[in-house]
Amino acid sequence: MAIKYVKLIKGDDIMVEVKNINGTSKDRYSNPKGCSSWITYWENKSLLPFPTYCQCEECYNRAKVGAHVKKTHESNKWYIVPLCYECNKKTEPFNVNEDDLVEVNKENTVDLW
Ligand SMILES: [Zn+2]
């Protein structure tokens, strides 16, 4: 499991293309229910410690945020993934490990709908 955090090997990992969710639509997911931040939310749901490094493929910056993303080929589900500040601002799609996506939905978000 430690291998994942230093990103040495991508052998069995399934990479998936995602893009950032930007703009006002993100506001309805602004606060996770029962967690102080999206980082804690990600840890609680994945049962993993928040990774040291950004989970964007080919990026070796420190992970700083639990970013809101969706898969480019699946528009109806939203996910949290650990990213650095730079990747959190990307407007182009990028690849992440499918295992690092934690779904976020109405049930586990503070009700702002
Ligand atoms: Zn990054």
Measured CA to CA, the distance from residue 99 to residue 49 in angstroms comes to 13
For residue 47, the CA-to-ligand 1 centroid distance in Å is: 22
CB 55 within 8 A of CB 96: yes
Running DSSP on this structure, what letter comes out for residue 62?
Answer: B
For residue 4, the CA-to-ligand 1 centroid distance in Å is: 15
For residue 9, the CA-to-ligand 1 centroid distance in Å is: 17
pLDDT tens readout for residues 32-60: 877 888 999 999 999 999 999 999 998 99
What string of pLDDT tens digits covers the 113 residues of the chain? 444 444 444 556 788 999 998 765 555 566 787 788 899 999 999 999 999 999 999 899 999 999 999 999 887 888 999 999 999 999 999 999 998 999 987 666 665 44
Measured CA to CA, the distance from residue 112 to residue 44 in angstroms comes to 21
For residue 29, the CA-to-ligand 1 centroid distance in Å is: 22
